[in-house]
Structure 1
Amino acid sequence: MSAYVVLTLDETTDQTQLDEYARLAPAAAEGRDISFLALYGRHEVLEGPSIEGAVILKFPTVDEAKEWYDSPAYQNAAAHRHAGAKYRAFIVEGLD
């Protein structure tokens, strides 16, 4: 079953840290089967608090999504994301 990682950017607190995240994060995708379905494009919040942006990534399985998220390369990048913004992130299993 496919899996989707969804990240919502709630509030930027340090743009320099987010710029460093953007520089480092692509290395974590190298050699992995990841489809970028949405990347901070136009959005409209229908319910709940407003967000600044969202990312949706598709992986072949939940396990592969977790391996990417837990990888040293992504965790190194994510430290900058955590330092630069308030985010929410989750994995949801797809229907296919």
Structure 2
Amino acid sequence: MSAFVVVEIEITDPVAYEEYKLYTPGSIAAYDGKFVVRGGSTESLEGNWNPQRLVVLEFPTVERAREWWNSPEYAKAKGIRQRAAHTKMLVVEGFEQ
């Protein structure tokens, strides 16, 4: 069953975050993942949730998403992101009809 990684990001160091964005796509693809949303504009329809940046990734399974997050391919990028932004990230199982 597919899985989605949902990330809310508040960038604190834009220069370093640009470096992060260079490393991330290859690491995601290496674990069969893809971007579904990558920082597009958002509009709050209910409540007061207005993220500065929102990213959604899709992986074939929750296990594959976890493998990516813990992978050596993502380690360098993860370290940059953790220094350059405040992040909330979760993985959620997709819905199968």
TM range (shorter): 0.7 to 0.9
Q: Unaligned stretches of 5+ in structure 2?
A: none
Q: Which residue in the other structure is 1:80 paired with?
A: 80
Quote the offset at 1:30 in angstroms: 3.5
Letter in 1 for 2:43: E
CA distance in 2, matches of 1:26, 1:82: 17
Name the amino acid aligned to 2:58.
Answer: K
Matched residue SS, 2:24? helix
1:36 offset after TM fit, Å? 1.5
Percent identity between matched residues is 35
Letter matched to residue 11 of structure 2: T
Query: When the two structures are superposed, what TM-score results if normalisation uses the length of structure 1?
Result: 0.88
**Which residue in the other structure is 2:13 paired with?**
14
Distance in 2 between residues matched to 1:26 and 1:77, nearest whole Å: 10
Residue number in structure 2 paired with 1:34: 33
Q: TM-score, length-normalised on structure 2? A: 0.87
Aligned residues: 95
Partner of 2:52: 52
What corresponds to 1:43 in structure 2?
A: 42
* Structure 1: gaps spanning 5 or more residues: none
